[in-house]
Amino acid sequence: MPSLGPSPPDCAPFDYDHPEISPYNYRPSLAAGIVFTVLFGLSTLLHAYQTFRTRRWWQITFVCGALGECLGWLARALAYNCAYSSTYFSMQISLLIFSPAFTTAGIYTILVFLLPLVGTHTSPLPRKAYLYIFVGVDITSILLQAIGGGMASSEASSGKNPVTGTNIMIAGILFQLASLCVFASLFQLVVFRGWKVIRANRSLVVLCAVTMLSVACVVIRGIYRSIELLQGWTGYLISNEKFTIALDGVMILIAVGIFNVFNPGVLLGKAGAGNVVSARDAEEGEVEDKP
């Protein structure tokens, strides 16, 4: 967050003796910025190709998630030479906080298409409820984070303590994190109840495994971001880039990149959730479980 006092010009030479002048409290790594920009960029292109090839358009959520991460890390790469730029700082913090919501939306959709294969009786909720409830929570949390981020930036720019806006941002992140933890529990329950069907189908085993890995990575990242903001804009976590790299960049790269390697559209197709079945399910809402 921009400092409360006057700061040097956006692209002034970095003052290593007073790193706290920068909104990052350090000079962002150029190498990390470039590496993550390239990797997330490749993931974006590959997800776009896989979406069009499989014609499972819901996978556009992964495209949006990877693209947001790519742009966020690009802003951090540009900030290497412009470490005092509030524009680059706001761009990267906003994109890196909001973008995982698109990835989780894709994860929620995986369960929607998984249920007809393992039996809708394995779920305590109707299929469509997962999209209505959890995507609704994601949208609400994004709005809270956007409102809080805007307030915090405005407060800091006017020389005020950005505590109110920061608290709203934290509330949005914690709301999203709690929702994801509930979803993870429900997903595990479905896998447990439908394990006899899942274990007989290699594609379902792989799909469930990579989905749980992706969820775990997003949860780890959410815990990190929550603690980071609770410590404040000059706290220990936000002031050490290694945590952003390891607990945000790497975690989300795994969460979204694992679906490049094990594409859910392809796995669902192999498991029997073809386009005809998916279209019928979308129209009818539920399918009858076969004995």
By CB neighbour count within 10 A (0-12 exposed, 13-18 middle, 19+ buried), where does 233 fall? buried
Q: In the predicted model, is pLDDT for residue 63 greater than 80?
A: yes
Listed residue (134, 139, 98, 125) closest to 252, CA to CA: 98
HSE, side-chain direction, 13 A CA sphere, residue 152:
26
Q: Average pLDDT over the chain, rounded to whole?
A: 87
Listed residue (218, 225, 226) closest to 258, CA to CA: 218
What is each CA distance from 270 to 52, 63, 97, 204, 205, in whole angstroms?
A: 17, 22, 34, 9, 12
Listed residue (68, 86, 64, 71) closest to 33, CA to CA: 71
pLDDT of 143 reads 87
Helices (H), the chain: 30-54, 60-78, 86-98, 100-118, 127-130, 136-157, 163-193, 195-199, 202-230, 241-244, 250-261, 264-271, 275-284
Q: Please tell me the pTM assigned to this model.
A: 0.88
Q: How confident is the model at residue 278 (pLDDT cuts 50, 70, 90)?
A: very low
Q: How confident is the model at residue 289 (pLDDT cuts 50, 70, 90)?
A: very low
Percent of the chain with pLDDT over 90: 66
pLDDT tens for each residue of 142-196 = 888 878 877 776 666 566 777 888 888 888 889 989 999 999 999 999 999 999 9
Q: In the predicted model, is pLDDT for residue 268 greater than 90?
A: yes
Q: How confident is the model at residue 67 (pLDDT cuts 50, 70, 90)?
A: very high
Dist CA 177 CA 169 (whole Å): 12
Listed residue (144, 269, 267) closest to 214, CA to CA: 267
What is each CA distance from 280 to 111, 267, 283, in whole angstroms?
A: 16, 19, 5
pLDDT of 157 reads 57
Of 281 and 146, more confident: 146
Dist CA 72 CA 220 (whole Å): 19
Q: In the predicted model, is pLDDT for residue 62 greater than 90?
A: yes
Q: How confident is the model at residue 41 (pLDDT cuts 50, 70, 90)?
A: very high
Q: How confident is the model at residue 100 (pLDDT cuts 50, 70, 90)?
A: very high
Please report where in the chains the tokens 């000059």 appear, as a residue.
Answer: 234
Most confident of the ranges 4-8, 40-44, 123-127? 40-44
